Protein backbone atom coordinates (compact mmCIF):
# COMPACT_ATOMS: atom_id res chain seq x y z
CA UNK A 1 0.00 0.00 0.00
CA UNK A 2 1.30 3.47 -0.89
CA UNK A 3 2.47 5.15 2.31
CA UNK A 4 0.37 8.26 1.58
CA UNK A 5 -2.85 6.23 1.41
CA UNK A 6 -1.93 4.34 4.56
CA UNK A 7 -1.08 7.60 6.33
CA UNK A 8 -4.42 9.12 5.31
CA UNK A 9 -6.28 6.14 6.79
CA UNK A 10 -4.37 6.38 10.07
CA UNK A 11 -4.83 10.15 10.30
CA UNK A 12 -8.56 9.72 9.72
CA UNK A 13 -8.72 7.21 12.58
CA UNK A 14 -6.56 9.45 14.76
CA UNK A 15 -9.15 12.23 14.88
CA UNK A 16 -11.82 9.85 16.19
CA UNK A 17 -12.32 9.17 19.90
CA UNK A 18 -9.78 6.59 21.07
CA UNK A 19 -12.28 3.79 21.60
CA UNK A 20 -13.81 4.19 18.14
CA UNK A 21 -10.47 4.78 16.38
CA UNK A 22 -8.83 1.74 17.94
CA UNK A 23 -11.93 -0.37 17.32
CA UNK A 24 -11.86 0.36 13.58
CA UNK A 25 -8.07 -0.06 13.51
CA UNK A 26 -8.35 -3.52 15.07
CA UNK A 27 -11.01 -4.61 12.61
CA UNK A 28 -8.92 -3.38 9.67
CA UNK A 29 -5.84 -5.19 10.93
CA UNK A 30 -7.77 -8.42 11.51
CA UNK A 31 -9.20 -8.21 7.99
CA UNK A 32 -5.84 -7.48 6.37
CA UNK A 33 -4.07 -10.16 8.42
CA UNK A 34 -6.79 -12.82 8.27
CA UNK A 35 -4.68 -15.22 6.19
CA UNK A 36 -1.24 -14.27 7.50
CA UNK A 37 -0.78 -16.55 10.53
CA UNK A 38 1.38 -19.03 8.61
CA UNK A 39 3.48 -16.22 7.16
CA UNK A 40 3.97 -14.63 10.56
CA UNK A 41 5.01 -17.96 12.05
CA UNK A 42 7.71 -18.34 9.41
CA UNK A 43 9.07 -14.81 9.86
CA UNK A 44 9.00 -15.14 13.65
CA UNK A 45 10.80 -18.47 13.37
CA UNK A 46 13.73 -16.82 11.58
CA UNK A 47 14.05 -14.33 14.41
CA UNK A 48 13.68 -17.07 17.01
CA UNK A 49 16.47 -19.15 15.47
CA UNK A 50 18.68 -16.08 15.39
CA UNK A 51 17.87 -15.40 19.05
CA UNK A 52 18.78 -18.96 20.02
CA UNK A 53 22.12 -18.59 18.26
CA UNK A 54 22.90 -15.34 20.10
CA UNK A 55 21.93 -16.86 23.44
CA UNK A 56 23.95 -20.03 22.80
CA UNK A 57 27.05 -17.97 22.02
CA UNK A 58 26.60 -16.27 25.40
CA UNK A 59 26.04 -19.65 27.13
CA UNK A 60 22.48 -18.72 28.13
CA UNK A 61 20.17 -21.70 28.58
CA UNK A 62 16.38 -21.22 28.66
CA UNK A 63 15.22 -24.69 29.66
CA UNK A 64 13.02 -24.41 32.77
CA UNK A 65 13.55 -20.64 32.81
CA UNK A 66 11.11 -17.70 32.66
CA UNK A 67 11.00 -15.50 29.57
CA UNK A 68 9.47 -12.02 29.53
CA UNK A 69 8.29 -10.83 26.11
CA UNK A 70 8.16 -7.05 25.65
CA UNK A 71 5.51 -6.38 23.01
CA UNK A 72 3.00 -9.18 22.48
CA UNK A 73 1.78 -8.14 19.06
CA UNK A 74 -1.17 -9.92 17.46
CA UNK A 75 -0.49 -13.55 18.38
CA UNK A 76 1.59 -15.49 20.93
CA UNK A 77 3.96 -16.92 18.32
CA UNK A 78 7.22 -16.12 20.12
CA UNK A 79 5.83 -17.36 23.49
CA UNK A 80 4.92 -20.67 21.79
CA UNK A 81 8.42 -20.97 20.35
CA UNK A 82 10.06 -20.34 23.73
CA UNK A 83 7.66 -22.79 25.39
CA UNK A 84 7.76 -25.70 22.96
CA UNK A 85 11.19 -25.38 21.33
CA UNK A 86 13.37 -23.75 24.03
CA UNK A 87 11.54 -25.54 26.87
CA UNK A 88 11.04 -22.40 28.92
CA UNK A 89 8.89 -23.17 31.95
CA UNK A 90 6.96 -19.88 31.80
CA UNK A 91 6.50 -17.01 29.37
CA UNK A 92 4.93 -13.70 30.38
CA UNK A 93 4.09 -11.33 27.57
CA UNK A 94 3.31 -7.62 28.05
CA UNK A 95 1.83 -5.13 25.59
CA UNK A 96 0.59 -1.57 25.80
CA UNK A 97 -2.34 -2.62 23.57
CA UNK A 98 -4.69 -5.60 23.53
CA UNK A 99 -4.51 -7.38 20.18
CA UNK A 100 -4.93 -11.10 20.94
CA UNK A 101 -8.12 -12.84 19.87
CA UNK A 102 -9.27 -16.43 20.33
CA UNK A 103 -9.71 -17.12 16.59
CA UNK A 104 -6.08 -16.25 15.79
CA UNK A 105 -4.84 -18.37 18.70
CA UNK A 106 -7.00 -21.27 17.48
CA UNK A 107 -5.31 -20.98 14.06
CA UNK A 108 -1.92 -20.97 15.78
CA UNK A 109 -2.83 -24.09 17.76
CA UNK A 110 -3.99 -25.84 14.58
CA UNK A 111 -0.72 -24.95 12.86
CA UNK A 112 1.34 -26.41 15.70
CA UNK A 113 -0.76 -29.58 15.55
CA UNK A 114 -0.38 -29.95 11.79
CA UNK A 115 3.22 -28.80 11.36
CA UNK A 116 4.91 -29.94 14.56
CA UNK A 117 2.50 -32.61 15.88
CA UNK A 118 2.17 -30.60 19.10
CA UNK A 119 -1.18 -30.72 20.86
CA UNK A 120 -1.42 -27.35 22.56
CA UNK A 121 -3.22 -27.82 25.86
CA UNK A 122 -5.10 -24.64 26.66
CA UNK A 123 -6.91 -23.30 29.69
CA UNK A 124 -10.41 -21.92 29.84
CA UNK A 125 -10.63 -18.19 29.46
CA UNK A 126 -10.89 -15.44 26.94
CA UNK A 127 -7.84 -16.40 24.88
CA UNK A 128 -7.48 -20.15 25.60
CA UNK A 129 -3.72 -19.98 26.09
CA UNK A 130 -1.48 -22.69 27.56
CA UNK A 131 -1.16 -22.44 31.34
CA UNK A 132 2.55 -21.61 31.01
CA UNK A 133 1.88 -18.44 28.99
CA UNK A 134 0.47 -15.36 30.71
CA UNK A 135 -0.78 -12.40 28.67
CA UNK A 136 -0.74 -8.89 30.18
CA UNK A 137 -2.28 -6.39 27.72
CA UNK A 138 -2.90 -2.69 28.32
CA UNK A 139 0.29 -2.40 30.37
CA UNK A 140 2.42 0.73 30.05
CA UNK A 141 5.80 -0.50 31.28
CA UNK A 142 7.06 3.08 31.49
CA UNK A 143 4.83 3.16 34.56
CA UNK A 144 6.55 1.06 37.27
CA UNK A 145 3.17 0.05 38.70
CA UNK A 146 2.46 -1.92 35.49
CA UNK A 147 5.42 -4.21 36.09
CA UNK A 148 5.38 -7.07 38.60
CA UNK A 149 8.53 -7.81 40.58
CA UNK A 150 8.52 -11.53 39.74
CA UNK A 151 11.85 -13.04 38.74
CA UNK A 152 12.58 -13.47 35.03
CA UNK A 153 15.65 -14.88 33.32
CA UNK A 154 15.38 -13.24 29.89
CA UNK A 155 13.52 -10.24 28.53
CA UNK A 156 13.00 -10.48 24.77
CA UNK A 157 11.65 -8.05 22.20
CA UNK A 158 11.32 -8.39 18.44
CA UNK A 159 10.87 -5.23 16.35
CA UNK A 160 9.24 -3.33 19.21
CA UNK A 161 11.70 -0.73 20.47
CA UNK A 162 11.55 1.37 17.31
CA UNK A 163 7.86 2.02 18.09
CA UNK A 164 8.47 3.41 21.59
CA UNK A 165 9.27 7.10 22.26
CA UNK A 166 12.84 7.60 23.54
CA UNK A 167 11.89 8.97 26.97
CA UNK A 168 9.55 6.04 27.58
CA UNK A 169 12.19 3.61 26.37
CA UNK A 170 14.58 4.90 29.03
CA UNK A 171 11.94 4.68 31.79
CA UNK A 172 11.04 1.11 30.81
CA UNK A 173 14.65 -0.02 31.13
CA UNK A 174 15.12 1.89 34.38
CA UNK A 175 12.03 0.12 35.72
CA UNK A 176 13.50 -3.23 34.74
CA UNK A 177 16.64 -2.44 36.75
CA UNK A 178 14.74 -1.14 39.76
CA UNK A 179 11.91 -3.71 39.99
CA UNK A 180 13.09 -7.05 38.63
CA UNK A 181 15.24 -9.42 40.72
CA UNK A 182 18.76 -9.80 39.35
CA UNK A 183 20.42 -11.32 37.43
CA UNK A 184 18.57 -11.31 34.11
CA UNK A 185 19.43 -10.69 30.47
CA UNK A 186 17.70 -8.67 27.78
CA UNK A 187 17.80 -9.50 24.09
CA UNK A 188 16.41 -6.84 21.77
CA UNK A 189 15.92 -7.22 18.03
CA UNK A 190 15.47 -3.75 16.58
CA UNK A 191 14.47 -2.67 13.07
CA UNK A 192 15.49 1.00 12.87
CA UNK A 193 14.64 1.54 9.19
CA UNK A 194 11.70 3.63 7.96
CA UNK A 195 8.93 1.00 8.04
CA UNK A 196 6.90 2.86 5.42
CA UNK A 197 9.46 1.66 2.86
CA UNK A 198 8.57 -1.98 3.54
CA UNK A 199 5.29 -1.56 1.66
CA UNK A 200 6.18 1.37 -0.59
CA UNK A 201 9.26 0.79 -2.73
CA UNK A 202 9.30 4.43 -3.83
CA UNK A 203 10.69 5.34 -0.40
CA UNK A 204 14.20 5.03 0.92
CA UNK A 205 14.65 2.91 4.05
CA UNK A 206 16.09 6.09 5.58
CA UNK A 207 13.53 8.55 4.21
CA UNK A 208 12.43 9.67 7.67
CA UNK A 209 15.89 11.10 8.38
CA UNK A 210 15.18 14.07 6.12
CA UNK A 211 12.47 15.51 8.38
CA UNK A 212 12.68 17.90 11.30
CA UNK A 213 11.09 16.59 14.53
CA UNK A 214 8.02 18.73 13.85
CA UNK A 215 7.73 17.53 10.26
CA UNK A 216 8.14 13.89 11.23
CA UNK A 217 5.45 14.23 13.90
CA UNK A 218 3.05 15.23 11.12
CA UNK A 219 3.91 12.12 9.11
CA UNK A 220 2.56 9.54 11.54
CA UNK A 221 0.03 8.87 14.31
CA UNK A 222 -0.34 6.72 17.41
CA UNK A 223 -1.25 3.84 15.09
CA UNK A 224 2.06 3.87 13.21
CA UNK A 225 4.45 5.67 15.56
CA UNK A 226 8.12 5.18 14.78
CA UNK A 227 11.03 6.83 16.53
CA UNK A 228 14.16 7.61 14.51
CA UNK A 229 16.78 6.47 17.00
CA UNK A 230 20.10 5.44 15.49
CA UNK A 231 22.42 2.79 16.89
CA UNK A 232 24.36 5.13 19.25
CA UNK A 233 21.08 6.47 20.64
CA UNK A 234 19.90 3.01 21.67
CA UNK A 235 23.25 2.21 23.24
CA UNK A 236 23.20 5.47 25.17
CA UNK A 237 19.71 4.70 26.55
CA UNK A 238 20.77 1.21 27.66
CA UNK A 239 23.89 2.58 29.32
CA UNK A 240 22.01 5.35 31.12
CA UNK A 241 19.42 2.87 32.39
CA UNK A 242 22.15 0.71 33.94
CA UNK A 243 22.89 -2.00 31.37
CA UNK A 244 26.06 -3.13 29.70
CA UNK A 245 26.31 -4.74 26.28
CA UNK A 246 27.13 -8.46 26.22
CA UNK A 247 26.96 -8.77 22.44
CA UNK A 248 26.00 -6.56 19.52
CA UNK A 249 25.55 -7.16 15.81
CA UNK A 250 23.82 -5.30 13.01
CA UNK A 251 23.54 -5.18 9.24
CA UNK A 252 25.51 -2.75 7.13
CA UNK A 253 24.41 -1.34 3.80
CA UNK A 254 26.15 -2.46 0.62
CA UNK A 255 27.46 0.68 -1.07
CA UNK A 256 26.68 -0.86 -4.47
CA UNK A 257 23.03 -1.45 -3.59
CA UNK A 258 19.92 0.46 -4.62
CA UNK A 259 19.24 0.91 -0.91
CA UNK A 260 22.49 2.84 -0.48
CA UNK A 261 21.88 4.84 -3.65
CA UNK A 262 18.52 6.03 -2.33
CA UNK A 263 20.17 6.97 0.97
CA UNK A 264 22.79 9.11 -0.80
CA UNK A 265 20.03 10.95 -2.65
CA UNK A 266 18.53 12.14 0.64
CA UNK A 267 19.21 15.50 2.21
CA UNK A 268 19.55 14.66 5.89
CA UNK A 269 18.04 16.91 8.51
CA UNK A 270 20.68 18.68 10.58
CA UNK A 271 19.83 16.49 13.59
CA UNK A 272 21.47 13.55 11.81
CA UNK A 273 24.49 15.29 10.29
CA UNK A 274 26.90 14.35 13.09
CA UNK A 275 26.35 10.60 12.83
CA UNK A 276 28.69 8.45 10.78
CA UNK A 277 27.25 6.61 7.79
CA UNK A 278 27.65 3.33 9.65
CA UNK A 279 25.66 4.68 12.60
CA UNK A 280 22.90 5.98 10.33
CA UNK A 281 22.66 2.87 8.17
CA UNK A 282 22.99 0.19 10.89
CA UNK A 283 19.99 -2.10 10.52
CA UNK A 284 18.60 -5.29 12.05
CA UNK A 285 20.24 -4.50 15.38
CA UNK A 286 20.54 -7.41 17.79
CA UNK A 287 21.78 -6.44 21.24
CA UNK A 288 22.16 -8.61 24.32
CA UNK A 289 22.28 -6.75 27.64
CA UNK A 290 22.80 -7.43 31.30
CA UNK A 291 22.64 -5.21 34.38
CA UNK A 292 25.95 -3.56 35.22
Per-residue confidence (pLDDT) for residue 235, from 0 to 100:
98
The mean-pLDDT minimum among 11-15, 85-89, 135-139 falls in: 11-15
Overall average pLDDT of the 182-194 stretch: 97
Q: pLDDT, tens digit, for every residue of 94-114?
A: 999 898 988 889 999 999 999
Q: How many structural domains are present in the chain?
A: 1
If one compares 199 and 34, the residue with the highest pLDDT of the two is 199
For residue 203, being part of any structural domain is answered with no
For residue 268, being part of any structural domain is answered with yes
If one compares 284 and 220, the residue with the highest pLDDT of the two is 284
For residue 219, being part of any structural domain is answered with no
First to last CA, the chain: 44
Overall average pLDDT of the 174-188 stretch: 97
For residue 177, being part of any structural domain is answered with yes
For residue 127, being part of any structural domain is answered with yes
Query: How high is the mean pLDDT of the chain?
Result: 92
Overall average pLDDT of the 13-28 stretch: 74
Overall average pLDDT of the 224-240 stretch: 96
For residue 27, being part of any structural domain is answered with no
Residue of 276, 201, 177 whose CA lies nearest to 231: 276
Contacts of 6 (CB under 8 A, 6+ apart): 196, 199, 200, 224
Q: Print the domain residue range for 63.
A: 33-192+229-291
For residue 81, being part of any structural domain is answered with yes
CATH number of the domain that residue 248 is part of: 3.40.50.150
Q: Quick one: CA dihedral 193, 197, 198, 202, positive or negative?
A: negative
Amino acid sequence: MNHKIKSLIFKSLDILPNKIGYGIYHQLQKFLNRNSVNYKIKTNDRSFQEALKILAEANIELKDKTVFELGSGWAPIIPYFFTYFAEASNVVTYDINEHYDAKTIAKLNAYFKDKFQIDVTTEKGRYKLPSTIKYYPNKDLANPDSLSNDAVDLIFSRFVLEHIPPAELLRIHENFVQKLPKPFYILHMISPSDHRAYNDTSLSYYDFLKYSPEEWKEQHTKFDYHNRLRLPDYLEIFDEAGFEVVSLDYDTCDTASEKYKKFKELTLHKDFENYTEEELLAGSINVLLKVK
